[in-house]
Amino acid sequence: MDQLLDPAILFFCFGIAAGLLRSNLEIPPAIARFLSLYLLMALGLKGGFALTKSGLTTEVAASLGAAVLLAVAVPLASYALLRRALNGFDAAAIAATYGSVSAVTFITAVQYLDTHSLPYGGHMAAGMALMESPAIVLAVLLANRARRQQGTAESVPLRGVLHESLTDGAQLLLLGAMVIGMLTGARGEAAMQPFTGDLFKGMLAFFLLDMGLSCARQVGALRGAPRWLLGYALAAPLVHATVAFGLGRALGLEPGNTALLMVLAASASYIAVPAVVRHAIPEARPGLYLGLSLGLTFPFNILVGIPAYMRIAHSG
């Protein structure tokens, strides 16, 4: 209940309500883009500042290794399951969506930890960056295989997809800000405190308002979708988070880092993956992979998943 009384979460709920009521309330795309870049820059800086204090430890290496393992295992397992009922293109696109990550879900989880004074490692932001691209590459390879089997079209060159996914501006900003945070250390943290601290909560609330409006718009795209697929959108984050929890415990990660690993595994991309998949796998239906991730999984994680993952990771 405390999670729902958080101002940022309440603005998210308000955005959903306004969207369902078909209000003309909207955040201009340019402002929404700015808010997204601000949040990533602030997160990267905070992660860099934290890394100057902790250094490169065994915990850091284990966390990043676990993130990469999940980034490969989740899309492959998802594709194997989805291919039983969907064509290869839709299965690959949805597997990529759920194998990649949602930056806003991760940022909301970080804010939850900060609000409750729960420790975590700043390096987990790097884990988020590492988990974004593998699912996209795997999806393109799977789609190319489906095209060869059907003999319908030429394969999409992997080099262009790799370049687009690895040089994505938002991802580069996150990593660049993290490096700057590491280089400037405590002096930089003090200088940027109003930017990374005082403004952060309000900016997140503003952005979640826009996300609530977007979620409401995607609900209509799911009309006619199979019920089992709607169930997948709610069950997949729980299954993936459970796997991440077991992995975090097996590696002896700190509870805060295990919680963030669970959030990353449970999240689904609704920006980076759809942007690439729309061009790389045009045969897939955007209403499915975008509608499921943004219309169901994202609000589920924000309202229910994050507090649940936090409690589980910090239990015992």
Give residue 117's identity as a one-letter amino acid code. S
DSSP at 84: T
Residue 174, pLDDT score:
82
Please state which of the ranges 56-60, 250-254, 289-293 shows the lowest mean pLDDT. Answer: 56-60
Please state which of the ranges 86-95, 122-131, 143-152 shows the lowest mean pLDDT. Answer: 143-152
For the segment 53-79, the average pLDDT, to the nearest whole number, is 91
Residue 163 has pLDDT above 70, yes or no: no
Return all residues near 26 (Cβ < 8 A) that are at least 6 apart. 213
Quickly state the pLDDT bin for 306 (edges 50, 70, 90): very high
3-state class (DSSP) for residue 6: coil
Quickly state the pLDDT bin for 167 (edges 50, 70, 90): low
Cα-Cα-Cα-Cα torsion 282, 286, 290, 291, nearest 10 degrees, comes to: -160
Beta carbons of 175 and 44 less than 8 angstroms apart: yes
Residue 112, pLDDT score:
93
DSSP at 157: P
Class of domain 29-313: mainly alpha
Residue 2 has pLDDT above 60, yes or no: no
Map tokens 């405190």 to a residue: 193
Element containing residue 20 per DSSP (H, E): helix 7-20
List, for residues 255-270, the tens digit of each pLDDT value: 999 999 999 999 999 8
Return all residues near 246 (Cβ < 8 A) that are at least 6 apart. none
Domain residue ranges in the chain? 29-313
In angstroms, the Cα distances linking 145 to 89, 140, 155 are 10, 9, 8
Please state which of the ranges 50-54, 107-111, 167-171, 240-244 shows the lowest mean pLDDT. Answer: 167-171
Residue 218, pLDDT score:
85
